Structure 1
Amino acid sequence: MSPPINDNLEQQAQSYFQELFVDNASPEWTTGTISDLGTVVGGSTPSKAKPEYYTESGIAWITPKDLSINKSKFISHGENDITELGLKNSSAAIMPEGTVLFSSRAPIGYIAIAAGEVTTNQGFKSVVPKPEIGTPFVYFFLKNTLPVIEGMASGSTFKEVSGSTMKNVPAVIPDAAILAKFSDFCAPIFAQQRTLEEQNQSLAKLRDSLLPKLMSGEIDVSAVHL
């Protein structure tokens, strides 16, 4: 990935969000809550005492730690996947591609978009956008509203956003035409960002596999003239 390219694309989309929904917000838009934008979904951790609940290649299961390591906008898998058995024996829920993941504790405010079907641990209160609202609006709404959400968190040991709190975060629901306009604007931007991130991840994997072989001499580069 070329970070400057992706950063520039992000700034374009963020600026358009600001223009449409902040600077030119209409007083006629409906006032509601996040529940009007989509379904808030929590997560769960299958028992770590049951190794059969976990696998290297299964159902994607994301934790806040995964988002702290992976700074990408889109995420498809975390460090560990879970099995069908692990899913069945926990309250984790499969969420569709396009779900906006939002870490609700330790820390509050990691935000990413599901690149495929995913589940999460209990450290998330994710939002499955309503089709008429769209992923782009929910994504930027959460980014812009983060200070408000943080202010609504509670807890003595560490701050956490509960499911009921997340569902009741105030939100303005723009009219359908403006939402569709924003989704259409963001669609090619998000697609390009995702492609660039996937290319970067592929190159990183290639580097990580080649470097040890180069260091050990398993790959002979003596004949290479620079």
Structure 2
Amino acid sequence: MFQELFITNADPNWRTGTIINLGTVIGGSTPSKAKPEYYTKNGIAWITPKDLSINKSKFITHGENDITELGLKNSSATVMPEGTVLFSSRAPIGYIAIAAGNITTNQGFKSVVPNDEIGTAYVYYYLKQNLSMIERLASGSTFKEVSGGTMKSVPAIVPDSKTIEKFNSFCLPIFEQQKVLETQNQTLAGLRDSLLPKLMSGELDASAIQL
């Protein structure tokens, strides 16, 4: 649908702008690792590129570690709303996911909080479609990175509201179904990982189960 609406049948009269015409670009931060009180297992979601390298899902709620309110207060991390499109800007460039709840990230991201009139789906697929272009804009001697200024200047097409509404109406129920299925898959994977060692060690006996 993205290909059909915005590439194959793109309107030459659509406005050309930059990413900031699609949403607000927000970087991340890492609370001091020397302060254990800044981190927790059940706090404010805090995502790193490593989390997206492990979790290949479209939607993400939490990473390996959360941060505490104190950690948030004593860093420049920003809480971003559900629907934010996370974009890893270094090490490596181009991991993309959608926040399934309020979320923060480390400095390895230049995330986009979509404007209400644009929506998450268009920003998500626009970044995926233009990943190669964004990678070419990266700079750095030690490793390539997309800076905040560079991300904000990435060229973007701003379609008319009717076409955006059509696309969002198409994507919304599909995204909701994908989110539910991913949550179910993660729950089942967690059950497998907790039960399998017990079955292998004999702690649990499944011999009486009728299949």
**Which interval holds the TM-score relative to the shorter structure?**
over 0.9
Question: Residue by residue, what CA displacement relative to the aligned partner does 1:57-89 show, whole Å, maximum 9, x if unpaired?
Answer: 000000000000000000000000000000000
CA displacement at 1:224 relative to structure 2: 2.9
Secondary structure of 1:31's aligned partner: strand
Does residue 59 of the first structure (1) align with residue 64 of the second (2)?
no
Task: Give the letter aligned to residue 151 of structure 2.
Answer: M
CA displacement at 1:27 relative to structure 2: 1.2
How many residues align structurally? Answer: 211
> What is the match of residue 83 of structure 1?
68
> What is the match of residue 104 of structure 1?
89
Task: Give the letter aligned to residue 155 of structure 1.
Answer: G
> What is the match of residue 80 of structure 2?
95
User: What CA RMSD, in Å, does the superposition of the two structures yield over aligned residues?
Assistant: 0.7
Does residue 214 of the first structure (1) align with residue 206 of the second (2)?
no
- CA distance in structure 1 between the partners assigned to 2:200 and 2:12 by the alignment: 63
CA displacement at 1:212 relative to structure 2: 1.4
| TM-score scaled by length of structure 2 | 0.99
- CA distance in structure 2 between the partners assigned to 1:127 and 1:57 by the alignment: 25
State how 1:145-156 maps to structure 2 within 5 Å: 145-156=130-141
Secondary structure of 1:148's aligned partner: helix
The equivalent position to 1:141 in structure 2, one of 126, 144, 147, is: 126
Secondary structure of 1:113's aligned partner: strand
The equivalent position to 1:188 in structure 2, one of 165, 170, 173, is: 173
State how 1:1-226 maps to structure 2 within 5 Å: 16-226=1-211
Give me the identity figure in percent: 76
Question: Residue by residue, what CA displacement relative to the aligned partner does 1:185-209 show, whole Å, maximum 9, x if unpaired?
Answer: 0001101111110110010011011
Structure 2: gaps spanning 5 or more residues: none
- CA distance in structure 2 between the partners assigned to 1:140 and 1:225 by the alignment: 46
Q: Displaced runs of 4+ in structure 1, greater than 4 A? A: none
- CA distance in structure 1 between the partners assigned to 2:209 and 2:75 by the alignment: 54
- CA distance in structure 2 between the partners assigned to 1:44 and 1:136 by the alignment: 25
CA displacement at 1:225 relative to structure 2: 4.5
